[in-house]
Structure 1
Amino acid sequence: MIFLAIVRANVRHLLEEPGLSLAYFQPGSLPPETFRRPVSVYAIARELHLPYETARRHIGKLLNTGLLDRGGDGGVVFPAAVNERPEVRQAVVTNFHATVRYAQTLADVGLKATCGPAPDAEARAAYMPREVVRLSSDYFLNTVDLLTTNLNLDLVEGLMFLAIVRANTLHVTLDAALAATFSGVDEIPPDGLRRSVSVYALARDLRLPYETARRHGGKLLELGFCERADDRGLVVPSHVHARADFKAGVEDYGRITQAFVNSLSLAGLVLT
């Protein structure tokens, strides 16, 4: 996530200028090195709600692996040459296919672009995979920022919270009838439907050290965001989902997701 935030910060100014985003995110069209602006460790720590030392340590690891370079002002930058590394190219492909699957899932439940007429067949055939990947990374970072800001959590607490919520009701999401029943902001699955998740499973799924997951899970318990089930697993109870700040966050998430789908449409990816 730190890596994604740095990549976005390096080219944020390009993305905010009409036309430049698409110009530099077609296959083979990468922003030149001179267009990349270094970002400080402090700025990344602040954006991701991380302790400065945590951000500094992980950015140091990225520098050591060659995924980042130092900029002229002491900041860090993602060098264009890294795009050709096999693991980075594979990550782009994996991200792209995951984004297409997610967009199809959204389309299946009726969430479609509202930004105007869909592109014609020729435009769809020419959609820009690199732009789709960038949009998905931006969407992910915006989602995490929304959660951590609305609920006043740090990055790891926010990710843990999301993972607990998902694990508690994944079976509901996968059941078409249940998913339709509990599809609205006010239609909250009862606690009897929730399945607890262990700290070990959370650590494994989020690729966190067990002690890190245990510590942040304990913080969520202290804050009242989750509870212990009879099997000692963690559950986010229905009364938390009914909180005004949580429901406001769900509505904000809906708006962010609609904007994401609209952006995918403008990039030529339209699923019906």
Structure 2
Amino acid sequence: MSDPDAPTFPPDVRRHVVRLAGDFFLNGAQIITTAIDTDLVTGMIFLAIVRANVRHLLDEPGLARAYFEPGVMLPESFRRPVSVYAIARELHLPYETARRHVRKLLAKGLCERGGDGGVVFPPEVNDRPEVRQAVQTNFHATVRYAQTLADVGLVATCDAAPDAQDMAAYMPREVVRLSSDYFLNTVALLTTNLKLELVEGLLFLAVTRANTLHVTLDPALAATFSGVDEIPPDALRRSVSVYALARDLRLPYETARRHGAKLLDMGLCERAGDRGLVVPAHVHARADFKAGVEDYGRVTQAFVNSLAQAGLVLA
């Protein structure tokens, strides 16, 4: 039986979806960084390397399935090395910054040198207990997120794959791949649409999330401020300190402070009375930001569709 007191969401829920997506992204980032014991920038580079190494497999369903099935390790020849330059360009990072973070991954055994000087992800890392746990944690978090999206009306527009039952054995790893793509697509939107470097984009997302997390979690407020044109007023926004941002993103405080200052200089953030950071309503009301909300809505819809195509069927 439906709850008569539950808030009714209007047809346009894109701004609410973006808030949910930001929360999912940052929670997923914590799963990744905890599993490989590193900061968020290194974690995003790790995901980018893994995706680049196996991107060509996605055009061959049989190979893709074998690659992500537990216990199956494809020959090294199937993994294509990616250059540090390509990773830096994809993530809008200075080359030297990308190189420094790749060296961290090499030192941890999370990537290794491949042909032509590129780097590759060693598949045996999948067998590390902390990585196995992260796969399961990510899977359950993604199911909850997808169900929340379905509850507000963002449903799959394609049928589930006909062999969904056969896919159950490797579903968690396939969901990791799809959610990793979604995370990296989120980064692309932040850096390209807002013309930001990676750290600035991640900080901006974290500030936005902290400002309105209580709106996301309050059903009545979420329903009130759900559409592209329904922007929570400044009086509802809760500021966040640079210290809290650095802690949540596992960044050095000085790095967070420096890039936070850039956001202030660009007019994307303001200081609140308590010296914390807020992204004011007038920034969210800009035409380019509204276009970004619409773009993120489409990316999120594509993610939901891909989950359904992989066999993740929700009520």
Query: Identity, % of aligned pairs?
Result: 85
1:73 is paired with a residue of what secondary structure? Answer: helix
Alignment of 1:166-205 (within 5 A): 166-205=209-248
Structure 1 position 30, deviation (Å): 4.0
d(CA) in 1 for partners of 2:100, 2:160 = 47
- 1:138 lines up with 2:176 in the alignment: no
Contact 2:110 2:125 in 1 (8 A): yes
Contact 1:124 1:269 in 2 (8 A): no
d(CA) in 1 for partners of 2:166, 2:153 = 22
Alignment of 1:1-272 (within 5 A): 1-116=44-159, 122=165, 128-272=171-315
d(CA) in 2 for partners of 1:261, 1:73 = 36
Contact 2:45 2:87 in 1 (8 A): yes
Q: 1:253 to 1:99 in 2, by over 3 A?
A: same
d(CA) in 2 for partners of 1:183, 1:171 = 13
Q: Deviations over 1:135-169 (max 9, x none)?
A: 00110000111111000000000000000000000
2:140 is paired with a residue of what secondary structure? Answer: helix
d(CA) in 1 for partners of 2:211, 2:187 = 19
2:115 is paired with a residue of what secondary structure? Answer: coil
d(CA) in 1 for partners of 2:50, 2:234 = 40
Structure 1 position 96, deviation (Å): 1.6
Contact 1:127 1:268 in 2 (8 A): no
> In structure 2, what residue type is equivalent to 1:69?
E
Structure 1 position 80, deviation (Å): 1.4
Q: 1:117 to 1:137 in 2, by over 3 A?
A: closer
1:212 is paired with a residue of what secondary structure? Answer: helix
- Range with bigger deviation, 241-250 or 86-95: 86-95
1:128 is paired with a residue of what secondary structure? Answer: helix
- Range with bigger deviation, 10-19 or 134-143: 10-19
> In structure 1, what residue type is equivalent to 2:303?
F
TM-score (norm 1): 0.95
- Range with bigger deviation, 210-219 or 85-94: 85-94
Structure 1 position 73, deviation (Å): 1.1
Contact 2:70 2:169 in 1 (8 A): no
Structure with the bigger RCO (C-alpha within 8 Å, sep 6+) is 2
Structure 1 position 170, deviation (Å): 0.5
Query: Gaps spanning 5+ residues in structure 1: where?
Result: none
Structure 1 position 29, deviation (Å): 3.4
Q: 1:173 to 1:124 in 2, by over 3 A?
A: farther
> In structure 2, what residue type is equivalent to 1:234?
L
Q: 1:184 to 1:19 in 2, by over 3 A?
A: farther
d(CA) in 2 for partners of 1:107, 1:232 = 38
Q: 1:198 to 1:2 in 2, by over 3 A?
A: same
Structure 1 position 88, deviation (Å): 1.9
Structure 1 position 116, deviation (Å): 3.1
